[in-house]
A = this chain, B = another copy of it.
Amino acid sequence: MQADDAVFVPIRAGAGPWTLEEVHRAPSQGFQRLLGIELREVRPDGVTAAIRIAPHHLNSVGFVHGGVLLSLADSLGAMGAVQVIGADQRTATLESKANFLRPTQGPTVVARCVPLHVGRRTSVWSTTVENERGQPVATVLQTQLHFAD
C-alpha cells in the first residue's frame, strides 16, 4: 500500500496550535492519505474537505462505507481543534457520535466541520457530510480534549 514506503513523520512534535500550512500537510500521509482527503478550506472557525469515491471506499453492498464518513469527520474535527488549542496544549478526540441520514455511492462526499463550542479545556465540533447534490449523508458531533503535558 502506498503510504508504507514513505517514512512517517508526525506533522507536529511539540505543543501549541498548528499553522494553516501544517494542517494542509496532514492529508499527505497516513490514514488521511489512504482515505484520499482533499482539503478545500481550512480556518479556525471551520474546515471543509472532500473525498472522491472509488471502489475501495465501498461497503459490502456497494455504498460508501460508514467508516469513510466517520473517518473524514474525525479528521476534520481534529484539524479544527489543532487550530484553537493553547500554546502549551495538545488535543485528543474524546468521543464521536454519528447519525447516518441516507446511503450514497458518490461520486464525491463533501464534509463541512464547524465548532459548536471552543473552551479552554475542550472543544465540540459538528460535521455535516453531503453528497454531490448537497443532501445530508451523515452528521457527526465530536469532543476534543485540550491538554497540557
Q: Are A94 and B96 closer than 8 Å at their CB atoms?
A: no
Number of interface residues of A (CB under 8 A): 61
Q: Are B1 and A96 closer than 8 Å at their CB atoms?
A: no
A26 to B98 Cα, complex, angstroms: 23
Q: Are B143 and A61 closer than 8 Å at their CB atoms?
A: no
Chain A residues in the interface with B (C-beta under 8 A): 1-4, 6, 8, 10-12, 26, 29-35, 54-62, 65-68, 70-72, 74-75, 78, 90, 92-103, 116-117, 121-122, 124, 126, 136, 139, 141, 143, 145, 147
A-B contact pairs, 27 of them (CB 8 A): A3-B54, A3-B56, A4-B55, A8-B62, A29-B58, A29-B60, A30-B58, A30-B65, A31-B65, A31-B67, A31-B68, A32-B65, A65-B71, A66-B74, A66-B78, A66-B93, A67-B67, A67-B72, A92-B100, A94-B100, A95-B98, A95-B100, A95-B143, A97-B141, A101-B117, A121-B147, A141-B141
